[in-house]
Structure 1
Amino acid sequence: MSRSADAFGARLREAVDAQGRIVAGIDPHAALLQAWSLPDTPQGLAAFSRTALDAVAGEVCAIKPQSAFYERHGAAGVAVLEELLAAARARGVLTILDVKRGDIGSTMAAYAEAHLRPGAPLEADAITVSPYLGAGSTDPAVQLALEHGKGVFLLALTSNPDGPQVQHALTRDDTPVAREIARHAEDLGSGVPGEWGSVGLVVGATVGDAYRRLGLDRAAPWAPLLAPGFGAQGAGPAQMSEVFGDNAGHVLVSLSRGLLSAGPDPAALTARARQLSAQYR
């Protein structure tokens, strides 16, 4: 199946080819705001977000704001997130909004409308979703995303200690749940050899051999892989091949503390982004 040039998977692959595979996690938690000498207020969020975007634009393939750190400040914090997403869009920086939405039917569709409909106040290029109400529960978000050239990343193998209780469990036909999610993502994303699909997976860089042992590499060979766990959480360049094997080229290296700790000086942030991009290229 041929993919449209404006499909999210194609645009993401183009960004990776041009700027490298670093995804800058924009996570303004209280400790980081304090380290940047900013108040833990909507005004502090706004200053943090502007500085981070200005410093990494053109140096990373995408930014990944964590919605929770904005939502905790109520309407004023969400307004800052709205401004960040709009500013990134105006500068041509891809946005992956980390919201981990998970629901069914019309509720899942409403979450999708909030983030994937063109013109929505909180419009992003892609969002993270949780498929653990059943892989098909995410379909309303996927359908809207594909309709508008957007992307979706399904949580598959997360790095939290309790994740394997569900993700490694076997379905009635003895298929690991995470592999079934990967297969569903590949079917919906319509990736073809040499071209990335628009439905990706979230796979932690600290999951050891589980990605290959459970067969996710074979179930979704063309899905982009959003991989947290690099940097402060312990994974490094060696895990690119150790964890992801032949699919290492599809990995998006998500870094937050490992990048943002270089702030608040914009020049230092830009230099760190360039260093990390070269390190993982």
Structure 2
Amino acid sequence: MEKLIRRIIERNNPTVVGLDPTLDYIPAQVKAEAFAEYGKTLRGAAHAYLTYNKAIIDAICDVVPAVKPQCAYYELLGWEGVKCLAETISYAQEKGMYVITDGKRNDIGSTMQAYAAAHLGEIEIEGERCVPFGGDALTVNGYLGTDGIKPLLEVIGDNPDKGIFVLVKTSNPSSGELQDRKLGENETVYAAMGDMCERWGAGKIGRYDYSKVGAVVGATYPAQLSELRARLPHTFFLVPGYGAQGGGAKDVAGAFDQNGLGGIVNSSRAVLTAWKKTGGDGRDFAQAARAEAIRMRDDITSAIPPIHSPAGI
């Protein structure tokens, strides 16, 4: 997580832009150019995605520390979309951005090792080392317990910049059906999962006092967000639910520590479709995305302590 935290401090910005493209989000001229070259095909749609993503990345890379591509939107386009995902990750990293791959993967044993190597590591092919996707962090489901998390931590190894974000208290309305259930008189499922994140990260605490094991905690549940921040002092939070899902700056404030660190807040739709609110034809989509990203940064930083490195760093 250390690279992510450094980028947050450098940009004075604790936000991540979700790169979750759909054809409805992409301006007509971008689609027209892609379809003219490749037809109205999976390849044409993937080309439109990539053109759109690169323009967004170019527009925000100097103000936003990270992007979070959601695998499902790319897998929807088959192998052409998966190729677009890999190219998007690579391009964002070339521009100095941290990449959180939103895959919510989980399994056990060799299957989880394969997921881990694919998204966070490398594989060997006849003696040659190859990087499949090369993301910096991956969202995962911890429901299978340590058997599903250990392979990820083995792949990450001693790399201080890699990390995982485990689903703990998610932003969706029905999350409480399971996550809010009581395991005893007082403890909830989400609190137990949070405690597991803290244990999985023990011994892997970095220079900013956070481990490589983060947690996904939604902005739509601010009381639980504050509760978990106090309970999990070494667990970095990925916070969805800001903006289109209803969370505001005051709602996410509980994710942060006294140094303005401890969390990164995601916005996808509001940034990607900002051009639809400008009254134009979409040719300004990248500039509109940048303006919304800056507005989001200013909104959130106004509600949290000033961002700075902890004493002694």
1:144 and 2:137 are equivalent in the alignment: no
Two-structure CA RMSD over aligned residues (Å): 2.4
Spell out the pairing of 1:7-156 with structure 2 (5 A cutoff): 9-19=1-11, 20-33=13-26, 38=31, 41-118=45-122, 119-149=130-160, 150-156=162-168
CA distance in structure 2 between the partners assigned to 1:120 and 1:85 by the alignment: 12
**Shift, 1:36, TM fit:** 7.3
Deviations 1:145-201 (A, max 9, x none): 244341100000012222222212234796322222222222232337952222110
Change (3 A) 1:96 1:34: same
Change (3 A) 1:71 1:45: same
Counterpart in the other structure of 1:170: 182
CA distance in structure 1 between the partners assigned to 2:224 and 2:146 by the alignment: 19
**Shift, 1:135, TM fit:** 4.9
**Shift, 1:108, TM fit:** 1.1
**Shift, 1:56, TM fit:** 1.3
Counterpart in the other structure of 1:5: none
Counterpart in the other structure of 1:6: none
One-letter code aligned to 2:294: R
Larger Rg: 2
Contact kept, 8 Å, 1:178 with 1:216, in 2: the verdict is no
Contact kept, 8 Å, 1:117 with 1:148, in 2: the verdict is no
Deviations 1:30-67 (A, max 9, x none): 32125775367112111111111111112111000011
Sequence identity percentage: 32
Counterpart in the other structure of 1:267: 287
Contact kept, 8 Å, 2:68 with 2:100, in 1: the verdict is yes
Contact kept, 8 Å, 1:224 with 1:251, in 2: the verdict is yes
TM-score (norm 1): 0.87
TM-score (norm 2): 0.78
Deviations 1:206-235 (A, max 9, x none): 0242234xx523431121111111111111
SS at match of 2:298: helix
1:224 and 2:236 are equivalent in the alignment: yes
Unaligned runs of 5+ in 1: 1-8
Count of equivalent residues: 270
